[in-house]
Amino acid sequence: MDNSAFEMHGDATQNVLSVGKMDTISRMEKKRQWSLMSVFLVCLLACTITTAVGVLILSLVYVNNSQPHSEVHLVPEAQPLRATTIPIVQKAVDPKFQFLNHLPKSKVFEFPGGAIQWARYRSNVKDYLSVEEEAFGSSLNSQRSQMTLGTLRIKSNGLRAPHWHFNANEHGYLVQGTAWIGVVDDGGVVTTYNVTAGQVIFFPKNTLHWIKNVGNEDCFFLLFFSTHDELQTLDVDDVFFSTPEDIAARSLKPEGGINFIRTFHKQEEDQGVNLPPNLAELVMNASYAQSPDSLVWRYFYDLKGSKEYRFPGGIIQRAQYWKNGSELSNNEKIFSEFLNQHQNALALSTLRIYNNGLRQPHFHFNANEMGYVISGCAKVGIINTQGTIEFDIHIGDVIFFPIGTQHYIKSMCDEDLLFILAFSTGDQLQTLDMDDYLQATADHILAQLFFKKQSEFKKIPKFKEDQAINLP
Ligand SMILES: *[C@@H]1O[C@H](CO)[C@@H](O)[C@H](O)[C@H]1NC(C)=O
Ligand SMILES: *[C@@H]1O[C@H](CO)[C@@H](O)[C@H](O)[C@H]1NC(C)=O
Ligand SMILES: *[C@@H]1O[C@H](CO)[C@@H](O)[C@H](O)[C@H]1NC(C)=O
């Protein structure tokens, strides 16, 4: 704009000069006429020149504006270059780690009564132990997985302290052991029950809950949380010690008042999973009662005892919401309906695949999927819009299949592959298998698509039995 302002000054001097020339030509005319005429001409010239200058300014402004546009076009071409030369080279990581987490390699958070490990997103990149863990965590978050997985090991008599989560429902599967669960819902309604291996627990967002190992062996839980952000949790002991003494005294009105409150002392170590060495002195009279079915089955599902969906190559069992609950027992219906009443609830299922069995390529319409390998080993394939990725999985590995990606799982060990899977839907899971969608597509459409005679497609047989998990 400075330049065009300067040019305008130049035009103005030219204007004055041409006025001078015209003075000499019209010397013979009457002074008034002349002066009127000259004023008119000067005005006309001035107008013309001003218009010309205006057009010039506009065109310059346009050129100035269009130049940054062309720079913008250049920038995206330059950026991938910069991106590939600096950050990606620094953090070269196999793309499979967007879908795979070697959980046994992750940090173990040790507590007096047990330990916790995580496959999750961290908002501070420094909290990841490796670039592989970071790739998985940021993939969960950027693809809005609505899921995070944690493992919880509790020693015999250990207690996962009463606590609640601000931002997630919790769905757990007990792999090993026996635990006594307490859930406190709105208005202080308490529900308690025992769970054993193969069963499922559900803690809706912000219900207070505890888990006590009441067996002789370790309890081992796989916990899915319905968030891809950092989980926000408060433990009851931490809240208690953060509450001013006088407020605690007035709220609880104990014998001895505030002096009684002052007899409580916070332990040095985090008591997230606790096990006091002198537990036998502290607890004399523990009872592990069970609440009525109508309460218990809202938070509990006997997955191991539920209907088995049998296929040639394996078995699937499901703890989920069913639109048509006619095949469910009355207690299972309570669970199904309760799940569906909660936002962002998850569906859990176990997937057992015999040696050499194949969970054929399929995808889900309405859910992301996360899974943990409990036993066996497998080859997994994921086909998304960027291509295909295949990798091996073993005990303790965690996988993530984003919604819509076609995936398959081939059991490779002698031992059955056993997966616990979570799906990010509180509705009935919707799935389409490769054989089903190819059978459903008209022969002539396939013939045209694959450059192959229509009659050739008769070679792909239809089976009476569902081939979701098949054998060769
Ligand atoms: C022990 O439990 C029994 C039955 O639940 C109860 O009646 C008794 O009061 C309890 N004793 C103590 C010391 O809590
Ligand atoms: C829960 O398990 C504990 C330990 O096995 C047992 O003592 C208790 O009776 C059980 N409670 C119920 C209601 O079955
Ligand atoms: C529900 O499922 C049962 C058994 O699978 C079937 O007989 C019934 O027709 C179904 N009901 C509806 C409304 O689809």
Per-residue pLDDT of the chain (472 residues; tens, 9 = 90+): 333 333 333 333 344 334 433 443 344 444 455 555 555 555 555 556 555 555 444 444 444 443 333 333 333 333 444 444 444 445 689 999 999 999 999 999 999 999 999 999 999 999 999 999 999 999 999 999 999 999 999 999 999 999 999 999 999 999 999 999 999 999 999 999 999 999 999 999 999 999 999 999 999 999 999 999 999 999 999 999 999 999 999 999 999 999 999 999 999 999 999 999 999 999 999 999 999 999 999 999 999 999 999 999 999 999 999 999 999 999 999 999 999 999 999 999 999 999 999 999 999 999 999 999 999 999 999 999 989 999 999 999 999 999 999 999 999 999 999 999 999 999 999 999 999 999 999 999 999 999 999 999 999 999 999 999 999 9
- Residue 269 maps to a domain: yes
Kindly identify the ligand whose nearest atom is closest to the C-alpha of 178. 2
The whole-angstrom separation of Cα 6 and Cα 21 is 24
- Residue 19 maps to a domain: no
The whole model's pTM is what?
Answer: 0.81
How many Cβ atoms are within 10 Å of 378's Cβ, its own excluded? 23
- Residue 318 maps to a domain: yes
- Residue 31 maps to a domain: no
Q: Measured from the CB, is residue 194 less than 6 Å from ligand 2?
A: yes
Which residue among 281, 285, 288 has the greatest number of ligand 1 atoms within 8 angstroms of its CB, and so is best to mutate? 285
Kindly identify the ligand whose nearest atom is closest to the C-alpha of 213. 2
Alpha-carbon distances of 61 from 47, 56, 66, 316, rounded to whole Å: 21, 9, 8, 68
Domain encompassing residue 386 = 95-432
Task: Give the Å distance between the CA of 282 and the centre of ligand 1.
Answer: 14
Q: Measured from the CB, is residue 306 less than 6 Å from ligand 2?
A: no
Task: Give the Å distance between the CA of 326 and the centre of ligand 3.
Answer: 6
Q: Measured from the CB, is residue 180 less than 6 Å from ligand 2?
A: yes
- Residue 33 maps to a domain: no
Q: Measured from the CB, is residue 287 less than 6 Å from ligand 1?
A: yes
H or E element that contains 230 = none
Ligand 2 atom 8: the closest Cα is on which residue? 288
Written in H, E and C, the secondary structure of 329-379 is CHHHHHHHHHHHCCCCCCEEEEEEECCCCEEEEEEECCCCEEEEEEECCEE
- Residue 84 maps to a domain: no
Which residue among 307, 309, 324 has the greatest number of ligand 3 atoms within 8 angstroms of its CB, and so is best to mutate? 324
- Which residues, 6 or more positions from 42, have their beta carbon under 8 angstroms from its beta carbon? 19
- Residue 23 maps to a domain: no
Q: Measured from the CB, is residue 285 less than 6 Å from ligand 1?
A: yes
**In 86-197, where does DSSP find H-type helix?**
87-90, 131-142
- Residue 469 maps to a domain: no
CATH of the domain at 262: 2.60.120.10
The whole-angstrom separation of Cα 289 and Cα 35 is 114
3-state secondary structure of 292: coil
Number of domains in the chain: 1
Cβ atoms 114, 152 nearer than 8 A: yes
Task: Give the Å distance between the CA of 343 and the centre of ligand 2.
Answer: 32
